[in-house]
Amino acid sequence: MGISVIVLAAGKGKRMRSSVPKILHPILGQPIISYVLESIKRISPQRIVLVLGHGSNEVKKSLNYEQIDSVIQKEQLGTGHAVYSTRRKLRSFNGNIVIVNGDSPLISPGTLKKLIGSHERTRSVLSILTADTRDTHGYGRVMRNGTGHVVRIIEEKDANANQRRINEINSGVYCVESGFLWKALSQVDRKNDQKEFYLTDIVEIASKEGKNVNVFVSKDSEEILGINNRVDLSRVEEIIRRRINDKHMISGVTIVKPGQTYISPQAYISSDTIIFPNSFIYGNTKIGAGCMIGPLVWIKDSKIGKNTSINFSSYITNADIGNKVTIGPFANIRPDSIILEGVRVGNFVEVKKSRIGRLSKVPHLSYIGDSEIGERVNIGAGTITCNYDGISKHETIIEDDVFIGSDTKLVAPVKIGRGASTGAGSTITKDVDDGALAIERTKQVTIRNWKRKRRKKKGK
Ligand code: UD1
Ligand code: CA
């Protein structure tokens, strides 16, 4: 029998004190909700229905999961009401429904599978994932009777001092038989401290009907951590970061200070790469073997080849960088840059939407924008491609084996032919032929004894 999943994500997340919907707050560059969805997808459900409310348009925009259905819960009247709002979408579905909270990103596919397995084995109408923990604050407590059967979940706000002492908490993850779910939810009322329709009330309903409520106790109480405020956010981020970094270290990447290294869940890094502290490897970044990254480097949505060094304080987004390249320190490689094998881009160099051919060098203080640079080109310090005339952008073409003198201004559109040179300090506005030297400079005037003359004038 198939499984459907409901993700509860309509809440505003008041405790975040934010104008951004809670589930869109990022962890390592990815929204909280994306971690939940990644886990769910790995149990291959027939259908996924997201319950959205606050900021639903923003949420939909940020997630490009086309196969995921959503409903809008206009008023957030509680978790029971949220689940109930999906009933039309799931009307034709007969089977087990897994319910998860959109604000609990540590839930693993393995645990979800175990919960479903135990639900099916025990032929229960309702299974809940719980955990024993010392840190029970904010969670619903699991109440059992004398024979150990679960009879009720009581929310912290509704609990008395004795009930609050219970260490078994509700994770907010359930597996429920669909027929029972819809019937039970129609009986839930709002007679509680928060005047909400509590999903958790279906536990008591099942128990009173003499139905089997199955409990699967998670071994890992970390996994069910929910994010309610920014302290939780940072705690969960730390756990996810540690898991990701551990995975890379186990597979052969050296991370000098894992506590100060931030790698997105999708990033791929090959073995024998060394990552120095305070580096951020975000988005869909792929890094080859034997690279040196950092310290203090930001790389996002980029591809880095083998044996490449990205040095101190460099910033790279949406770029494709080849093998044996050296970038930085203090380089800014902007989107749509392609940097081929053996290139050196040095300090205080900005590259934008340009292609730099094999073995070329841009070692110091340059701006290369909208350019096509050939192989073995040397670009002198302080060179600037003047690509913008105030209205549109223009291209600079520099062919193989060109030598650009220091402080050359290349006013685009302009082309420097194969093997040509420019003189230092030139402003080049016209194309330069292959092998030529272009020099644009006023003649130097040297005035002799200048210092003495000036002194005399001043009467000294
Ligand atoms: C809920 C459980 C609690 C459990 C905890 C685990 C209830 C009544 N309580 O409490 O037993 O220990 O989760 O983390 O279910 N939501 C909606 N619509 C609403 C209300 C909430 O979509 O009308 C969503 C929220 O966006 C959130 C999730 O449901 O993703 C849980 O809501 P939240 O208010 O955080 O519930 P808790 O107080 O944490
Ligand atoms: Ca919560």
Query: What are the pLDDT digits (tens) for 132-173?
Result: 999 899 999 999 999 999 999 999 999 999 999 999 999 999
Q: Are residues 261 and 366 in the same domain?
A: yes
pLDDT value at residue 220: 86
The token pair at 63 is 């997630």
Contacts 24+ apart (CB under 8 A), 368-374: 368/396, 369/393, 369/396, 370/394, 370/395, 370/396, 370/412, 371/395, 371/396, 371/397, 371/398, 371/412, 372/396, 372/397, 372/398, 373/398, 374/398, 374/399, 374/400, 374/401, 374/402, 374/418
Task: Report, as residue numbers or ranges, the catalytic residues.
Answer: 364
How far is it, in rounded angstroms, from Cα 295 to Cα 298? 9
The answer to whether position 446 is within a domain reads no
The token pair at 390 is 């105030």
Strands 303-304 and 320-321: parallel
The answer to whether position 95 is within a domain reads yes
Q: What is the pTM of this model?
A: 0.91
Structural domains of the chain, count = 2
Q: Which domain holds residue 348?
A: 251-438
Q: Ligand 2 mean position to 450 CA, how many Å?
A: 79
Looking up residue 316, the CATH number of its domain turns out to be 2.160.10.10
Ligand 1 atom at minimal distance to the Cα of residue 194 = 8
pLDDT value at residue 68: 80
pLDDT at 242 over 90: yes
Q: Ligand 2 mean position to 194 CA, how many Å?
A: 14
Looking up residue 192, the CATH number of its domain turns out to be 3.90.550.10
The token pair at 378 is 């040397």
Instruction: Return the best residue to mutate from 40, 86, 101, 142 for the ligand 1 pocket (most ligand atoms within 8 A of CB).
Output: 101
Tell me what the mean pLDDT of segment 387-400 comes to: 97
Q: Are residues 203 and 340 in the same domain?
A: no
Nearest CA to ligand 1 atom 34: 11
Q: Are residues 85 and 138 in the same domain?
A: yes
Calculated CA dihedral for residues 138, 144, 146, 151, nearest 10 degrees = 130
Tell me what the mean pLDDT of segment 55-72 comes to: 84
The token pair at 240 is 């996810």
The answer to whether position 258 is within a domain reads yes
Q: Ligand 2 mean position to 123 CA, how many Å?
A: 28
Q: Assign 399 to helix, strand or coil.
A: coil
How far is it, in rounded angstroms, from Cα 183 to Cα 208? 14
SS3 per-residue string spanning 36-78: HHHHHHCCCCCEEEEEEECEHHHHHHHCCCCCCEEEECCCCCC
Which residues form the pocket of ligand 1, taking CB atoms under 6 Å from any ligand atom? 8-11, 51, 73, 76-79, 81-82, 101-104, 139-140, 153, 155, 169-172, 198-200, 226, 228
12 pLDDT tier (thresholds 50, 70, 90): confident
Q: Ligand 2 mean position to 135 CA, how many Å?
A: 14
Nearest CA to ligand 1 atom 13: 172
67 pLDDT tier (thresholds 50, 70, 90): low
How far is it, in rounded angstroms, from Cα 259 to Cα 338? 31
The answer to whether position 108 is within a domain reads yes
pLDDT at 460 over 90: no
Q: Are residues 201 and 286 in the same domain?
A: no
How far is it, in rounded angstroms, from Cα 25 to Cα 272? 33
The mean pLDDT value of the chain amounts to 95
pLDDT value at residue 66: 64
The answer to whether position 458 is within a domain reads no
Q: Ligand 1 mean position to 149 CA, how many Å?
A: 23
The residue to which tokens 């909400």 are assigned: 196
Tell me what the mean pLDDT of segment 176-182 comes to: 97
372 pLDDT tier (thresholds 50, 70, 90): very high
Q: Are residues 160 and 267 in the same domain?
A: no
Nearest CA to ligand 1 atom 26: 11
Q: Which ligand is nearest to the CA of 12?
A: 1
The answer to whether position 98 is within a domain reads yes
pLDDT at 459 over 70: no
Report the share of the chain in percent with pLDDT over 90.
91
Q: Are residues 198 and 85 in the same domain?
A: yes
How far is it, in rounded angstroms, from Cα 114 to Cα 124? 14
311-350: per-residue pLDDT in tens? 999 999 999 999 999 999 999 999 999 999 999 999 999 9
270 pLDDT tier (thresholds 50, 70, 90): very high
13-60: per-residue pLDDT in tens? 899 999 999 999 999 999 999 999 999 999 999 999 999 998 899 998
Q: Are residues 297 and 216 in the same domain?
A: no
Q: Which residues pair with 170 in a beta bridge?
A: 130
Q: Which ligand is nearest to the CA of 170?
A: 1
How far is it, in rounded angstroms, from Cα 304 to Cα 325? 9
Nearest CA to ligand 1 atom 36: 79
Q: Are residues 72 and 184 in the same domain?
A: yes
pLDDT at 444 over 60: yes
Report the share of the chain in percent with pLDDT over 70.
98
* Cα distances (angstroms) measured from residue 87 to each of 92, 172, 181, 299: 9, 19, 10, 43
pLDDT at 11 over 90: no
Q: Which ligand is nearest to the CA of 55?
A: 1
* Cα distances (angstroms) measured from residue 303 to each of 224, 338, 371, 372, 436: 34, 10, 20, 19, 36
458 pLDDT tier (thresholds 50, 70, 90): low
Among candidate residues 412, 405, 404, 454, the one with its CA nearest the CA of residue 431: 412
Q: Are residues 211 and 255 in the same domain?
A: no
Q: Are residues 206 and 296 in the same domain?
A: no
Nearest CA to ligand 1 atom 37: 139
The residue to which tokens 């902007």 are assigned: 334
Ligand 1 atom at minimal distance to the Cα of residue 169 = 12
Q: Ligand 1 mean position to 130 CA, how many Å?
A: 14
How far is it, in rounded angstroms, from Cα 233 to Cα 104? 10
Measured in degrees and rounded to the nearest 5, phi and psi for residue 455 equal -60, -45
Ligand 1 atom at minimal distance to the Cα of residue 153 = 11
Q: Are residues 292 and 409 in the same domain?
A: yes
Ligand 1 atom at minimal distance to the Cα of residue 226 = 14
CB-based contacts of 458, cutoff 8 Å, min separation 6:
none
Nearest CA to ligand 1 atom 17: 10
Asked if 131 contacts 169 with a C-beta cutoff of 8 angstroms, the reply is yes
How far is it, in rounded angstroms, from Cα 15 to Cα 13? 5
Report residues near ion ligand 2: CB below 5 Å: 103, 226
Q: Are residues 205 and 266 in the same domain?
A: no
Domain boundary among 177, 208, 224: 224
Measured in degrees and rounded to the nearest 5, phi and psi for residue 222 equal -60, -40
Ligand 1 atom at minimal distance to the Cα of residue 78 = 23
The answer to whether position 443 is within a domain reads no
The answer to whether position 153 is within a domain reads yes
b/e per residue, 138-176, with b = 16+ CB within 10 A? ebbbbbeeeeeebbbbbbeebbeeeeeebebbbbbbbbb
pLDDT at 457 over 90: no
Residue count of the chain, please give it.
460
